[in-house]
Amino acid sequence: MTSGDIAPPATFYGSGERFATLDEIVAAARENLPAEVWDFLAGGAGEESTLHANRDAFARWAFLPRVMSGADVPSTRTSFLGAELSMPVLTAPFGADALFHPEGQRAVARANEAEGVASIVPEAGSHSLEDVRAAAPGAAVIAQLHPMGQEANFRAMIARIADRGYRALCVTVDCPTGGWRERNLRNRFAPDPAVITGNYRAAGSPEPEEVFGQLFDRTEPVWSWDRLAGALAGSPLPWLAKGILTGADAEAAIAAGASGIVVSNHGGRQLDGAPAALDQLPEVARAVAGRAQIALDSGIRRGADVAKALALGADVVIIGRLAACGLAAAGETGVRRVHRLLRAELTTVLTLLGRGGVRDLDESALRRSAS
């Protein structure tokens, strides 16, 4: 069976796999991790209202099945920024990844490559972008960076990413500062700098923490769209703007040169009280109007969520906590199982909606509840 195939339901349900559902993977991750690391993974900013709003938003949309459609087994295949995908899923650039498994993003990328999914490789990761790409060059195709600190460092990172064979950049634009994450504060949680400085150790600095500190230099002015556009000028790589929640910001990102928009509130980890990402997706999709591809990040927990996001205007979704939970539950094998369960449920939903594939999804597949 190839990574793009799925067994018939009777075979799938009786497969004898260790994890039968995504909830079981999440439970195993929680059991495997120290309490403070679990809180770091699962928590959000402030009172976590936005964290919970992300999930509530999916519940406000009901599916409208199309029966007797005559549609064959649906296809989950698609593409995003030129990358061919077995399903419309990318993994998020979550950093500090060695906290969840020693192999971190290397294991995620290997699982992604095996399952036909793409990785966004983090800047603040435990392993260098070179190591992650070497582990799985077919999956490690997008690299993240933050527009902050000195432009010289930012430009140097762009050049390094391009030189190592990455095909696109993911520019995280919603982090001029870290969110107010009270679980971490209560736990006095301060991870070893080694888990977020993999890229700077690889750069040959004798003091990677100092180099990382320069990147997040608070004496530097907060970046603007104009400054970002100038720093990206001449880059050979297309880029995504990650952290967009309004049509106005989507317009600004496209004007600055973005080829893709990631509708995201950082999984509820930045500004508590911000709206759910899914609630903002239709507004952003209208503003983009086909001029850029769109990803939805924040709140994806199951295959049905993927279908709802695509019906509301996304081309793909990005999973962070789910991928990290797979990693914590069973390393590379756990991440592969996350993908297989997502694909299986998505295939089932598409079949029951009477759609021939993920490209056939639109808002006619949904009805918004009155509440």
**Tens-place pLDDT, residues 100-135:** 999 999 999 999 999 999 999 999 999 999 999 999
Beta strands in the chain (DSSP E): 61-63, 78-80, 83-85, 89-91, 118-121, 140-145, 168-172, 239-244, 260-263, 293-297, 316-319, 366-368
What is the rounded distance in angstroms from the CA atom of residue 341 to the CA atom of residue 298? 18
Residue by residue, what is the 3-state secondary structure of 306-324?
HHHHHHCCCCEEEECHHHH
Confidence of residue 216 (pLDDT cuts 50, 70, 90): low
Token pair of 179 as six digits:
């969110």
pLDDT at 212 over 90: no
What are the residues whose beta carbons fall under 8 Å from the beta carbon of 300, sequence distance 6 or more?
306, 309, 317, 318, 319, 322
Q: Indicate which residue of 101, 127, 266, 339 is catalytic.
A: 266
Q: What is the pLDDT of residue 280?
A: 98
Would strands 83-85 and 78-80 be described as parallel, antiparallel, or unpaired? antiparallel
User: pTM of the full predicted structure?
Assistant: 0.93
Beta strands in 272-356 (DSSP E): 293-297, 316-319
If phi > 0 it is left, if psi is from -120 to 50 it is alpha, else beta; for residue 153 that is alpha
- Type of residue at 80: F
Better-predicted residue by pLDDT, 225 or 369? 225
Hunting for tokens 């709140």 — which residue is that?
299
Instruction: Kindly list the structural domains of the chain, giving each domain's residue range(s) and its CATH number in brackets, ordered by start.
Output: 9-362 (3.20.20.70)
Q: What is the pLDDT of residue 2?
A: 42
Q: What is the pLDDT of residue 47?
A: 97
- State the chain's mean pLDDT as an integer: 92
Catalytic residue list contains 101: no
What number of CA atoms fall less than 13 Å from residue 73's CA on the CB side? Answer: 10
If phi > 0 it is left, if psi is from -120 to 50 it is alpha, else beta; for residue 45 that is beta
Q: What is the pLDDT of residue 222?
A: 85
pLDDT at 354 over 50: yes
> In Å, how far are 88, 94, 103, 140, 198 from 131, measured between CA atoms?
25, 16, 10, 10, 9
Q: What is the pLDDT of residue 201?
A: 77
pLDDT at 277 over 70: yes
pLDDT at 157 over 90: yes
